[in-house]
Amino acid sequence: MSTGTVATFEDSLERLEVGWTHTSSDELGDVLREVCDDPAVGVPLPFGAPLPEWVNTNPTPADLREAKAGVTAAGIGIADYGSVVVQGTPDGVEPVSLFCDRHVAVLRQSDIVSGMPEAFEWLGEEFRTGHSSAIIATGPSATADMGALVKGAHGPKDVHVVILDE
């Protein structure tokens, strides 16, 4: 991963009108506070950075329905498209990333790949080693079925990407 890849990723997010913030593990809590409205739900991140306590990591269906923000990890980012790959896990990444108005995806900078060929190399390995679900998510959910493009169909109306620099 080169700085060029990160810049391309950011350009793609810009094009998608998806916000992003660079931060470190230590300051992750402050950044999340800025980008999450209450109530927020989340799934503990697999790469060590702890989520602040105000993020409910043990949500019920009622919590999911009420939540304004859902914080999850993203496995990789895809620079050319501004996509984040959200891997469904037993602790609920898929519903948490799907039901809230805003999805906040936390991504390590080193996990940004340049394009789809690199992404599928990674995905092939993930699926062959037993992962059962990965969503290549690009921007918020959207529809044009009602006569004009509307952001926020069945899924989040807005996405924010937090990039963890090491």
Partner 1 sequence: MSKAREAKAAKIRQLMETEGDAVNTGTSGFNQGRYESVQTLDDYEGLKSEARAIKEDAIERLPELIDELRETVEENGGTLYIADDADDANRYIREVCKDKDAERVVKSKSMTSEEIEVNEALEHAGTEVIETDLGEWVLQVADEAPSHIVAPAIHKSRDAIADLFNETFDPDEPLETAEELTMFAREQLGELIEDADVGMTGANFITADTGTIALVTSEGNARKTAVVPDTHVAVAGVEKLIPTVEDLQPFVELIGKSGTGQDITSYISLLTPPVESPTVDFDDPDTPITDGETDRDYHLVLIDNGRMTMRDDDQLRETLYCIRCSACSNVCANFQHVGGHAFGGETYSGGIGTGWEAGVEGLDSAAEFNDLCTGCSRCTTACPVEIDIPWINTVVRDRVNRGDVSELDWLVEGLTPDEEPGGVSFQKRFFGNFETAAKVGSFFAPVSNWVAQSSISRNLMERFLGIDARRELPAFQRETLVEWFDARGSRVENPTRTAVLYPDVYTNHVQVERGKAAVRALEALDVEVVVPDVRSSGRAPLSQGMISTAEDHAHDVYAGLSEYIDAGHDIVVIEPSDLAMFRGEYEKFLPEQSFERIADSSYEVMEYVFGLLENGADADALSVVDGDEVAYHSHCQQRTLGLEGYTEAVLSDLGFDVATSDVECCGMAGSFGYKSEYYELSMDVGSELKSQFQTDETRDRTVVASGTSCLEQLDSLLSRPTQHPVQLVAPSR
The site for partner 1 (CB under 8 A) is made up of 58-62, 64-65, 81, 83, 88-95, 98-99, 116-117, 119-121, 123-124, 127-128, 131-150, 152-156
Residue 86 and residue 131 in contact, taking contact as beta carbons nearer than 8 Å: no
Handedness of CA 14, 55, 36, 62 (dihedral sign): positive
- Determine how many CB atoms are found less than 10 A away from the CB of residue 34: 11
In 3D space, the residue among 92, 81, 77 whose CA is nearest the CA of residue 133 turns out to be 92
In terms of CB distance, is 26 or 144 closer to partner 1?
144
**Least gap, CB of 31 to partner 1 (angstroms):** 24
In terms of CB distance, is 51 or 93 closer to partner 1?
93
**Least gap, CB of 24 to partner 1 (angstroms):** 28
In terms of CB distance, is 5 or 83 closer to partner 1?
83
Token digits for 27? 């300051």
Token digits for 52? 């602040």
Residue showing tokens 């602040």: 52
In terms of CB distance, is 31 or 88 closer to partner 1?
88
- Cα separation, 52 vs 10, whole angstroms: 26
